[in-house]
């Protein structure tokens, strides 16, 4: 197992120095799920939620969160993201919504944390907007699906 990258020789937390890393195109995709009552999902899909288009608000929240990742996660680098995408895939048969994010840049460090943060905050925003009608919603399955670029190259969930 490789050494943890955010721990120095003294065992202290530190920000990774990326000064000498090459600038390359990097991208990451993440996903997560929010399960809910079938009536709640039907209400969202029919556009009948009293708070309006909850997907639009949640998408904007996810985009904003990805841009603020370094302010939320202490050892993340502030990044100049060139692309942030947050999509929602309703899955009525399972009473849930799949949330997928994509983050991209040309830089010296990866964007996995930004993609994970976008999914997480989009799910939390959906929860916040719907909790009055469905306080039993469940957020789960948040994970990186794929990353590209950098020294380690391409990685995809399920490939090791």
Provide the strand spans (E) within the chain: 24-35, 83-91, 96-107, 138-148, 155-156
Rounded Cα–Cα distance for residues 53 and 129 (Å): 10
User: To 10 degrees, the CA torsion angle through 62, 64, 70, 76?
Assistant: 40
111: tokens are: 């964007």
For 153, the 3-state DSSP assignment is coil
* Catalytic annotation, pick one of 87, 128, 134, 140: 128
Q: Clarify whether 128 is annotated catalytic.
A: yes
Tell me the catalytic residues. 128
């Amino acid at each position: 197992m490789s050494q943890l990258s955010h721990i120095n020789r003294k065992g202290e937390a530190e920000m990774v120095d990326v000064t000498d890393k090459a600038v390359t195109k990097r991208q990451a995709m993440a996903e997560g799920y929010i399960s809910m009552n079938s009536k709640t999902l039907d209400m969202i899909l029919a556009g009948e939620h009293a708070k309006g288009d909850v997907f639009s608000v949640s998408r904007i929240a996810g985009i904003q969160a990805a841009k603020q990742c370094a302010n939320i996660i202490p050892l993340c680098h502030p990044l100049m993201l060139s692309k942030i995408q947050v999509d929602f895939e309703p899955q009525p048969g399972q009473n849930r919504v799949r949330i997928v994010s994509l983050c991209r840049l040309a830089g010296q460090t990866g964007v996995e944390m930004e993609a994970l943060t976008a999914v997480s905050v989009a799910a939390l925003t959906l929860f916040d907007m719907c909790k009055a009608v469905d306080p039993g919603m469940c957020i789960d399955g948040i994970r990186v699906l794929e990353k590209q670029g950098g020294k380690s190259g391409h990685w995809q969930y399920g490939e090791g």
